[in-house]
């Protein structure tokens, strides 16, 4: 048992840190430090910088452009990316559909799609959730009917994150309406410019446009866009959701936010002293830091166990990462509100290119309330925390 | 980064686990409590035979050269057993002082006494006014020829009634709460001027109130440089905090496992109560606390040998906060989910709850360490 990083791992961390310091564009970094979103253009710019270095898809097999890093190295890379802070790679491509394609897809699909994911030439969206199928994903009703060399797709997907930028969407569709719930589902890749597709924004509580509804009205999809076998889509979806776990705790991102809160609370006065010296405030902060340290160690335990775990089988303990990670992220946004005090109130419209109005009060205060409102999502998406508890109860406790 | 145990560590774990499984079920523990001083000498002898009492001492001193990970392994097992033997008092606390402060000749004399299981040691440091301030020492050490004379009152001395030898902290100079001016002295527990009143704690461990009146200490029994003992005491308490976290994890593991087992077997309304989602979720919340505690215990264990005292202090405070909160939640909910039967003295969950409650107050509770950690600026640099 040796709980510290090896000298090689520390050297690797320093290499990554230095690369980020020298290559992450300042305007992108400043935007993220301020708590604003990276735009589509920012993400493309950063992904291409990483791709040139060979680091855009580090966790993929080497033959498809991966790095061959150990799980610990991959963890360090993700952590440094969050700490920088740099934009995360578009997960729908690199973490979701990419691994499905290189694991279950045809040679043509691999050639056509994988390099375009790594370079973010293709912006992928996810078409899983439906109005009637959220946590109970297998209840989905969008249909794909085979007609000659095409599937005809009808139905509706929802919560399609950043779908307004989407070039392609990967979908779960029902190909056998008579089969049992999980059987009869297929995994389709659809060009979002196809006739019959309509994308409508869903505006979330803070006023932002992050998610969408996508409607499918007799959309023609070539049969070569089916991944793997017809009616086996549920297996691929389970594989995909199992891969989603890496970095789900977002420890690095939470550390970066705590650092930011400390800087702001050192400058902000509470009466005649800096807010950071307010006993109650700083104890709340320390309390979150303790939970985060424990979570970091839990994350490392899961990462270390990856070496010995069967491939494609997610560690049920990663449900803990989701539960605790989301709770901590939410607590941090809550504490950030307290730093701004009354200046959380003025509403400022954020577009994806930044703010379009001058601030009322301190510049740094304006993103804090929107972030707090928006972050209520993290305990809901990717399987709500209640679903995670069901998973642990069943898979770990045997209840 | 490697969380796997080495071959030697695995063997150590297997042997302690086996001893505890064979000789330390809840009924046997009840019998051990009836012995003089409330623990089993026979078990203590077995600890010695397995090498547990020699574990943390250097090989040159007759020990096994174990570190914080080895101590963690033992303490987690002892925590599962709710063991009442004076391992913390003798090996972790007194042994720690001996490792860090005693000179070669003293270690040559004292380590074999502990390692062989012959003598019980206790650390007489805490005083009534100290609360959680480790520097609060009012017991006086007055120079007397080559040696010293001790006068004062020590309180809540863990296993102080069973001890053959006491390691006493006393002030050679400075104010009551100065870090500077504290010394450590080895005192025969039966020496003239030492009087002890042993008592039971809530969790069936034992402690003693000890008065020292004109107690003579010969020069050879002064441990380390008088006046400079604070960093040693602090370091040993940090090591003990890491060990205590491991004990807590062992205990919480049993409380949680017993509770889950009960949910699977207890039937009401024609079904096992574990089929109810609200109870499932509570059991999961306990599990999350347990695993977060295990994680922070690894962190504390890793930091127990850190030489930078401030960094070590931050880590230990963080660990104690997480452990204290977890003990409270897991302890309370293990009773709640057992329902009425959880309230009975006969069932063991209540005893884990009581031990957990005492662990929180040992070396500082959640609020104390939260205040301390936040005053040090927390864990993450701004």
Q: Does A7-89 match A124-230 in CATH topology?
A: no
How confident is the model at residue A354, as a pLDDT?
Answer: 65
Which of A252, A282, A393 would you mutate first to test chain B, the one with the most B CBs within 10 A? A393
Q: Are B160 and B122 in contact (CB under 8 A)?
A: yes
Choose among A259, A286, A287: nearest Cβ to B382.
Answer: A259
How confident is the model at residue A55, as a pLDDT?
Answer: 97
Is 3.40.50.300 the CATH number for A124-230? no
Half-sphere exposure of A223 (CA within 13 A, CB side): 9
How confident is the model at residue A244, as a pLDDT?
Answer: 59
Which of A9, A183, A213, A244 is catalytic? The answer is A244
How confident is the model at residue A247, as a pLDDT?
Answer: 74
Please check the confidence at residue A374 and state whether its pLDDT lies above 80.
yes
Helix (H) or strand (E) holding B223: strand B222-227
Distance of CA A307 to the CA centre of its chain: 23
The average pLDDT across B16-25 equals 96
Contact B322 A294 (CB under 8 A): yes
Please check the confidence at residue A234 and state whether its pLDDT lies above 70.
yes
Structure confidence by residue, pLDDT tens digits, B297-312: 999 999 999 999 999 9
B51 Rama sector, left if φ>0, alpha if ψ -120 to 50, beta otherwise = left
Beta strand pairing status for B165-171 and B121-124?
parallel
**Annotated catalytic, A41?**
no
- Average model confidence (pLDDT) for chain A? 93
What is the rounded CA–CA span in Å between residue A22 and residue A39?
Answer: 21
| Domains in chain B with CATH codes | 7-88+95-119 (1.10.540.10), 122-227 (2.40.110.10), 231-375 (1.20.140.10)
| φ, ψ for residue A217, nearest 5 deg | -125, 100
Structure confidence by residue, pLDDT tens digits, A256-275: 999 999 999 999 999 999 99
Q: Which band of pLDDT confidence, cut at 50, 70 and 90, is reported for residue A319?
A: confident
**Domain boundary assignment for chain A:** 7-89, 124-230, 245-395
> What CATH fold (topology level) applies to the domain A7-89?
Butyryl-Coa Dehydrogenase, subunit A; domain 1 (1.10.540)
| Closest residue on chain A to B292 (Cα) | A294
The contact set of B with A (CB < 8 A) is 1-6, 9, 69, 260, 263-264, 274-275, 277, 280-281, 283-285, 287-288, 291-293, 295-296, 298-299, 301-302, 318, 321-322, 370-371, 373-375, 378-382
How confident is the model at residue B175, as a pLDDT?
Answer: 97
Considering only CB atoms, which chain B residues are within 8 Å of A262? Answer: 378, 380, 382
Q: Which band of pLDDT confidence, cut at 50, 70 and 90, is reported for residue A323?
A: very high
Please check the confidence at residue A352 and state whether its pLDDT lies above 60.
no
The average pLDDT across B335-339 equals 98
How confident is the model at residue B32, as a pLDDT?
Answer: 97
Distances (CA, A) of A85 to A36, A218, A366, B80: 11, 43, 19, 43
Q: Are A239 and A100 in contact (CB under 8 A)?
A: yes
| Closest residue on chain B to A259 (Cα) | B382
Buried b (16+ CB within 10 A) or exposed e, B15-47: bbeebbeeebeeeebeebeeeebbbbeebbebb
Contact A399 B283 (CB under 8 A): yes
The average pLDDT across B116-132 equals 98
Q: Are B378 and A282 in contact (CB under 8 A)?
A: yes
ipTM of the complex: 0.96
Q: Which residue's entry shows tokens 């963890």? A: A75
Choose among B296, B374, B380: nearest Cβ to A297.
Answer: B296
Which of B291, B327, B364 would you mutate first to test chain A, the one with the most A CBs within 10 A? B291
Q: Which band of pLDDT confidence, cut at 50, 70 and 90, is reported for residue A312?
A: low
CATH class for the domain made up of A245-395 = mainly alpha
How far does B174 lie from chain A, in Å, by closest CA?
30
Considering only CB atoms, which chain A residues are within 8 Å of B375? Answer: 282
Please check the confidence at residue A311 and state whether its pLDDT lies above 80.
no
Of A8-12, A163-167, A311-315, B308-312, the range with the lowest mean pLDDT is A311-315
Q: What share of chain A is helix, strand, coil (3-state, %, to 5)?
A: 50, 15, 30
Please check the confidence at residue B178 and state whether its pLDDT lies above 70.
yes
């Amino acid at each position: 048992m040796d709980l510290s990083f090896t000298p090689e791992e520390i050297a690797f961390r320093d290499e990554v840190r230095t690369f980020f310091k020298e290559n992450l564009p300042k305007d992108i970094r400043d935007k993220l430090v301020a708590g604003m979103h990276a735009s589509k253009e920012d993400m493309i710019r950063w992904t291409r910088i990483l791709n040139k270095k060979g680091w855009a898809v580090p966790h993929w097999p080497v033959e498809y452009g991966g790095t061959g890093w150990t799980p610990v190295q991959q963890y360090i890379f993700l952590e440094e990316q969050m700490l920088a802070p740099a934009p995360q790679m578009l997960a729908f491509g690199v973490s979701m559909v990419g691994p499905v394609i290189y694991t279950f897809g045809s040679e043509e699909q691999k050639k056509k799609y994988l390099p375009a994911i790594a370079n973010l030439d293709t912006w992928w969206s996810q078409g899983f959730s439906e109005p009637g199928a959220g946590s109970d994903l297998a209840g989905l009703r969008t249909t794909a009917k085979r007609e000659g060399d095409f599937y005809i797709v009808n139905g509706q997907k929802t919560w399609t994150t950043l779908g307004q930028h989407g070039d392609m969407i990967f979908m779960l569709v029902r190909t056998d309406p008579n089969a049992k719930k999980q059987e009869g589902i297929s995994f389709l890749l659809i060009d979002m410019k196809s006739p019959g597709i309509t994308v409508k924004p869903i505006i979330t509580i803070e006023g932002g446009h992050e998610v969408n509804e996508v409607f499918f009205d007799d959309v023609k999809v070539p049969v070569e866009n089916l991944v793997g076998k017809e009616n086996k889509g549920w297996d691929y979806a389970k594989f995909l959701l199992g891969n989603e776990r890496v970095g789900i705790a977002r420890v690095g991102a939470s550390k970066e936010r705590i650092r930011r809160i400390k800087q702001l609370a050192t400058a902000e006065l509470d009466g005649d002293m800096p807010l950071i010296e307010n006993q109650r405030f700083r104890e709340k902060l320390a309390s979150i830091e303790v939970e985060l340290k424990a979570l970091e160690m839990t994350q490392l335990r899961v990462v270390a166990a990856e070496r010995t775990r069967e491939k494609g089988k997610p560690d049920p303990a990663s449900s803990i990462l989701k539960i605790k990670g989301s709770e901590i992220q939410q607590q941090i946004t809550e504490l950030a509100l307290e730093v701004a005090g009354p200046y959380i109130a003025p509403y400022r419209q954020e577009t994806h290119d930044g703010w379009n109005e001058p601030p009322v009060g301190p510049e740094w205060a304006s993103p804090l309330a929107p972030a707090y409102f928006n972050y209520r999502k993290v305990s809901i998406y990717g399987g709500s925390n209640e679903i995670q508890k069901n998973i642990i109860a069943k898979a770990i406790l045997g209840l | 980064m490697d969380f796997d145990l080495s071959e030697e560590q695995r063997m150590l774990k297997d042997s302690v686990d086996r001893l505890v499984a064979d000789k330390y079920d809840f009924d046997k523990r009840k019998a051990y409590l009836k012995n003089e001083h409330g623990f089993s000498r026979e078990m203590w002898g077995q600890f010695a035979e397995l090498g547990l009492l020699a574990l943390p001492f250097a090989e040159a001193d007759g020990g096994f050269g174990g570190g914080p990970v080895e101590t963690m392994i033992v303490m987690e097992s002892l925590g599962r057993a709710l063991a009442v033997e004076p391992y913390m008092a003798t090996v972790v606390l007194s042994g720690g002082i001996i490792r860090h402060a005693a000179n070669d000749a003293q270690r040559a004399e004292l380590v074999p006494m502990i390692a062989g299981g012959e003598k019980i040691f206790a650390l007489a440091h805490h005083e009534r006014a100290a609360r959680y301030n480790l520097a609060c020492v009012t017991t006086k050490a007055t120079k007397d020829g080559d040696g010293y004379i001790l006068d004062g009152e020590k309180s809540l001395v863990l296993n102080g009634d069973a001890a053959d030898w006491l390691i006493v902290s006393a002030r050679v100079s400075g104010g009551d709460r100065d870090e500077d001016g504290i010394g450590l002295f080895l005192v025969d527990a039966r020496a003239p001027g030492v009087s002890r009143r042993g008592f039971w704690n809530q969790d069936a461990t034992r402690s003693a109130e000890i008065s020292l009146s004109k107690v003579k200490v010969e020069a050879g029994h002064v441990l380390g440089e008088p006046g400079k003992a604070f960093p040693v005491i602090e370091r040993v308490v940090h090591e003990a905090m890491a060990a205590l976290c491991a004990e807590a994890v062992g205990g919480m593991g049993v409380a949680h496992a017993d509770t889950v087992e009960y949910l699977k077997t207890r039937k009401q309304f024609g079904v096992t109560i574990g089929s109810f989602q609200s109870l499932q979720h509570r059991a999961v919340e306990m599990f999350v606390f347990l695993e977060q505690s295990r994680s922070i215990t690894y962190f504390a264990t890793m930091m127990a040998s850190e030489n930078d005292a401030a960094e070590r202090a931050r880590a230990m405070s963080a660990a104690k906060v997480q452990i204290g909160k977890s003990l409270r939640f897991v302890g309370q909910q293990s009773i709640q989910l057992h329902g009425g039967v959880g309230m009975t003295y006969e069932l063991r969950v209540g005893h884990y709850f009581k031990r957990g409650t005492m662990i929180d107050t040992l070396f500082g509770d959640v609020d104390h360490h939260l205040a301390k950690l936040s005053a040090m600026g927390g864990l993450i640099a701004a």
